[in-house]
Amino acid sequence: MHSQPTLRTSSFKQVDVFTSEPMRGNPLAVIFDAEGLTTEEMQHIASWTNLSETTFVLPPTDAAADYRIRIFTPRTELPFAGHPSVGTAHALLEAERVAAKPALVQECAAGLLPVRVAGSGAERRIFVSTPRARFGKLPDTARDAFARAFGASLAAQPLPVRVGPNWMICDLGSADAVHALKPDMQAMISLRASFDAVYFCVFGRAAAGAGHAIAVRAFCPADGIPEDPVTGSANAAVGAYLHASGELAKIGVEYRASQGREMGRDGYVDVRVDANSGAVEIGGQSITCLDGTLALPHA
């Protein structure tokens, strides 16, 4: 008889991010014991979980960091992403794998990022300072091409904003336009060849009394994610866009974004933008939906 290889396992949580209610936010897989996993194995696991992102927790390489993570979509590794950063900090605090304190430092491929912890238990809200935005430029033809793919007009020229992923930020004007959007996913995929566009975010302003300032949707069909439920980095990119365009004053330096209604979710992202520097912090609540042990691929 052939002996079976020893099974490798890891403590595991699946966390719903940007919500206080199970299955209403954006799910994240957190692999705690990632030492010894190769990049190829991490990518294989992230493909298997089939969530928009999976994080792998590792010992920090910088003494200033409390922990280190690597972030994978089903197809690629990201230097930074918002909901994985917020959700992993939640999971580590809940599992008592990091000290419960108001300020943490996350190490990731984008560098060392401050993490702020407000409150405790079910009321805990976690905020991450996102990488400083870098702005690109698209040719004038992009506005019409994007509008055709979205099936909706744009209120302004789309702007690439890189905060880890390079988001194509598109202002649709109103929240109603965002909710009504029915984009052509195949047409969006084809925009990669013409404009190197993979990650798309649309937003619009909500009516007075809505309880949030803007509605947001995010699409990444070329990366295997047709629509993402609630997206931290996209909301950070919108905050940077509003600051750069001079539109932030109409909304305020602290505002709440709603995302996920079209997917049956109820996510909220709290955004804070420094009016002088344009630095962005995003955050919100999280809740653990699955907690246990994950069997890892054989070495």
Residues with a known catalytic role: 53
Which pair of structure tokens corresponds to residue 205?
């302003």
Residue 48 backbone phi and psi in degrees, to 5: -70, -40
Residue in this structure with the two tokens 């702020």, named with its chain if needed: 116
Q: Which one-letter amino acid corresponds to residue 101?
A: K
Tokens matching residue 152 = 């909706």
Specify the residue for token string 């280190």.
68
The CA-atom distances, in angstroms, between 77 and each of 113, 253, 287 are: 18, 31, 24
Q: For residue 278, give the DSSP letter.
A: -
Query: Where in 130-253 does DSSP place strands (E)?
Result: 134-135, 159-162, 166-174, 199-205, 214-220, 225-228
Q: What Rg, from alpha-carbon coordinates, does the chain have?
A: 19
- Under 8 Å between Cβ of 90 and 289: no
User: In whole angstroms, what is the distance from residue 168 CA to residue 242 CA?
Assistant: 13
DSSP category for residue 215: E
Query: What single-letter DSSP state applies at residue 217?
Result: E
Which amino acid is located at 151 in the chain? Answer: G
The CA distance from 72 to 38, in Å, is: 13
